[in-house]
């Protein structure tokens, strides 16, 4: 399958492109980026000769089975809509769009084209997340009553000040740019929808959007959900750290998952009616290879496999995250 990528940024460099190059069934034949210097750098690094500063030229001149969209958020819409016109399968970065109207237009255009449209919610591809999903679906612990998601790290600071400021502004800060992962995980794990969303935030560094936000939500089934996303604490620690923690409190027991403080260090706990499980291990932090293999399978089968997030999943999670941001902004303290 012939693959082209639009947007030679940070995520493409450490995630998408190495994964594509490592899979025999995928052939990376074209790259596009408006930054000509970076485009040439990535072309040399990944052995790609088809380089385009305008993605439209790439779509017009190269026959592709799949386009990966890893541009900044504000360019997702136009690239996906052009791919829909050309009848090309798409794997798009999150958040899907700046607003619901654009997102649903993208979803409908890809649906009309009859092509695969997947969104990068990589947590769905992590082995422990799939294990937690199976436990909840089996109902061995009964119904989830409380779901808690905490994600505290340095944001995009490691990629430079300019990138961090773009994520705080265009990416709408941690509750949208990163929080969207957890709004999606809630939907995927619970197989439920949000009913109410309230949120509040802390504005520590003077940005328009909160650099720490907490959403308190209730699902249609009655389950309570807390999503806590921050970019402003752990980067000040001596050695640098981060914390990703998920707790699912069910009628008959508890599931707990924590990644960090060491990279890829995972602790999984299961407290059920008949057994207790405590495991410590290492887990692939960004399972791009798993996702691309799922995309290959989806294209072959002509439908998105269950493990992948669809365009519809992408915009629903984005809508919920934006609702939380908007509620937090209403309460902004001067």
pLDDT band of 264, cuts 50, 70, 90: confident
Cβ neighbours for 258, distance < 8 A, ≥ 6 positions apart = 243, 244, 245, 246, 266, 267
Say if residue 297 is in the same domain as residue 251: no
pTM of the model: 0.95
| Of 234, 270, 232, 242, nearest in space to 254 by CA | 270
Q: Structure tokens of 163? A: 């990138």
Number of domains the chain contains: 2
pLDDT at 242: 83
Question: Do residues 91 and 182 share a domain?
Answer: no
CATH number reported for the structural domain that contains residue 59 in this entry: 3.40.50.720
Domain, as residue range, for 87: 2-122+289-309
| Mean pLDDT along residues 37-58 | 98
Packing angle of the helix pair 100-113, 76-86 (nearest 10 deg): 20
Question: How far, CA to CA in Å, does 81 sit from each of 16, 90, 108, 318?
Answer: 21, 10, 10, 18
In this structure, are 97 and 147 located in the same domain? no
Q: H or E element: which one contains 92?
A: strand 89-92
- How many CA atoms lie within 13 Å of 48's alpha carbon, on the beta-carbon side? 30
Please state, as a whole number, how many other Cβ atoms lie within 10 Å of the Cβ of residue 108: 13
Q: Which CATH number goes with the domain that contains 201?
A: 3.30.360.10
The reply to whether 177 and 326 lie within a common domain is: yes
Q: Are residues 31 and 173 in the same domain?
A: no
| Angstrom distance (rounded) from CA 23 to CA 120 | 18
Mean pLDDT of 284-295: 89
Question: Among positive and negative, which fits the CA dihedral 134, 140, 141, 142?
Answer: positive
44 & 162 share domain = no
Please calculate the CA angle 8-322-311 and round it to the nearest 5 degrees.
55
139 and 233, same domain (yes or no): yes
* Mean pLDDT over the full length of the chain: 95
Instruction: Give the N- to C-terminal CA distance of the chain in Å, as an integer.
Output: 53
CB 248 within 8 A of CB 142: no
Is residue 64 within 8 Å of residue 88, measured between CB atoms?
yes
Q: Do the Cβ atoms of 69 and 7 come closer than 8 Å?
A: yes
Q: pLDDT tens for residues 148-196?
A: 999 998 888 877 888 899 999 999 999 999 999 999 999 999 999 999 9
Q: 152 and 86: one domain? A: no
DSSP annotation string for 31-68: EE-S-HHHHHHHHHHHT--EEESSHHHHHHHS--SEEE
Both 197 and 251 in a single domain? yes
Same domain flag for 115 and 174: no
The string of pLDDT tens digits covering residues 318-332 is 999 999 999 999 998
pLDDT higher than 60, residue 268 = yes
Tell me which DSSP letter residue 84 carries.
Answer: H
> Do 129 and 256 have their domain in common?
yes
Assess whether 268 and 154 both reside in one domain: yes
- CB atoms under 10 Å from CB of 235, counted, come to 16
pLDDT tens digits along 198-247: 999 999 999 999 999 999 999 999 999 999 999 999 888 888 788 899 99
């Amino acid at each position: 399958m012939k693959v082209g990528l639009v947007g030679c940024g940070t995520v493409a460099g450490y995630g998408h492109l190495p994964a594509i190059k490592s899979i025999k069934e995928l052939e990376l034949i074209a790259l596009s980026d408006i930054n000509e210097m970076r485009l040439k750098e990535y072309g040399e690094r990944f052995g790609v000769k088809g380089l385009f500063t305008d993605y439209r030229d790439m779509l017009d001149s190269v026959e592709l089975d799949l386009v990966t969209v890893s541009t900044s958020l504000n360019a997702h819409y136009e690239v996906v809509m052009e791919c829909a016109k050309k009848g090309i399968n798409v794997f798009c970065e999150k958040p899907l769009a700046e607003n619901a109207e654009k997102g649903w237009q993208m979803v409908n255009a890809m649906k009309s084209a009859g092509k695969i449209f997947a969104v990068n919610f990589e947590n769905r591809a992590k082995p422990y997340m799939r294990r937690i999903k199976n436990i909840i679906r089996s109902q061995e612990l009964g119904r989830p009553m409380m779901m808690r998601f905490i994600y505290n790290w340095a944001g995009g600071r490691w990629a430079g000040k300019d990138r961090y400021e773009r994520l705080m502004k265009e990416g709408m800060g941690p509750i949208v740019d990163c929080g969207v992962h957890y709004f999606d995980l809630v939907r995927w794990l619970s197989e439920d929808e949000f009913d109410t969303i309230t949120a509040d935030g802390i504005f520590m560094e003077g940005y328009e959007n909160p650099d720490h936000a907490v959403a308190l939500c209730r699902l249609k089934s009655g389950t309570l959900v807390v999503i806590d996303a921050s970019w402003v604490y752990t980067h000040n620690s001596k050695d640098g750290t981060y914390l990703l923690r998920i707790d699912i409190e069910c009628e008959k027991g508890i599931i707990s998952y924590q990644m960090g403080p060491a990279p890829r260090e995972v602790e999984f706990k299961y407290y059920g009616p008949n057994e207790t499980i405590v495991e410590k291990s290492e887990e692939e932090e960004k399972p791009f290879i798993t996702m691309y293999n799922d995309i290959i399978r989806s294209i072959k089968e002509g439908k998105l496999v269950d493990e992948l997030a669809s365009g519809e999943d992408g915009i629903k999670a984005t809508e919920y995250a934006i609702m939380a941001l908007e509620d937090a902004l209403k309460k902004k303290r001067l």
